[in-house]
Amino acid sequence: MNMWISVEAHFPQAVADREAVAARLIALWNHHVDGEHQIDQDSKTVGSADPTFTDLHFDGECASIEYPGKWETEGIANFAHAASLAYPEATVHTLEEWTGEDPNIVRQQWEGGAVVAEKDSAGPLEPVIAGKSLSVAHAALSGAVERLDGLLRAIAVGEDFWEHWSYSEAQALADVFDAAAQPDAARMVRERVAEADPEMWEEATTASE
């Protein structure tokens, strides 16, 4: 397995006291990552896992650690969390890419101690809401909606369930299914409620036109 590791702390402007910031970032790095990837205060590698391991360096407003290696570096997320708390004005980007038989990539953006965007592939990072990326949240929501559809379909008209629904309640639930790209489920809800109380449904439909 081969890896490429990149950790960048982007500051709003060029860092004036690079020596102090570098010392603090190195201290945070050494505290959180594994013992094989430590850096001393002279920016020299202490660990021996990856001889190509590089030091921390600055380029304008960006402090970065980048290196290829054969072994995974443990604790990068912990470092990003700590660094983004220590420097809340900075945005910390991490990239861990595995190549070889089982290629994989993990990219995250940290601000104020939290992941605010991530992606497990190439392309723009996706915002993270309540600890989940949009793609993960969408997949979870789609799964939950499908399970709800299955439960509702198992309840037939006449089982003392659909008879209690109003027109507006049925339309609200059907709208949820429509928004989740489940038109068959939306149609099922409307049909079940209409079948359970045809008179109510006809009156409500006429009034809404």
| pLDDT, tens only, 55-109 | 788 888 999 988 887 778 899 999 999 999 999 999 999 999 888 777 888 899 9
With vertex at residue 95, the alpha carbon angle to CA 99 and CA 37, rounded to the nearest 5 degrees, is 85
CA distance 154 to 136: 28
Q: What value does the mean pLDDT take over residues 134-147?
A: 83
Asked if 25 contacts 56 with a C-beta cutoff of 8 angstroms, the reply is: yes
In eight-state DSSP terms, residue 39 is B
pLDDT for residue 49: 44
pTM more than 0.85: no
pLDDT value at 47 more than 50: no
Residue entry with tokens 């497990």? 120
Mean of the per-residue pLDDT values of the chain: 86
1 pLDDT tier (thresholds 50, 70, 90)? low
pLDDT value at 166 more than 50: yes
Asked if 9 contacts 56 with a C-beta cutoff of 8 angstroms, the reply is: no
Question: pLDDT tens, 8-46?
Answer: 999 999 888 888 898 899 899 999 998 888 886 654 444
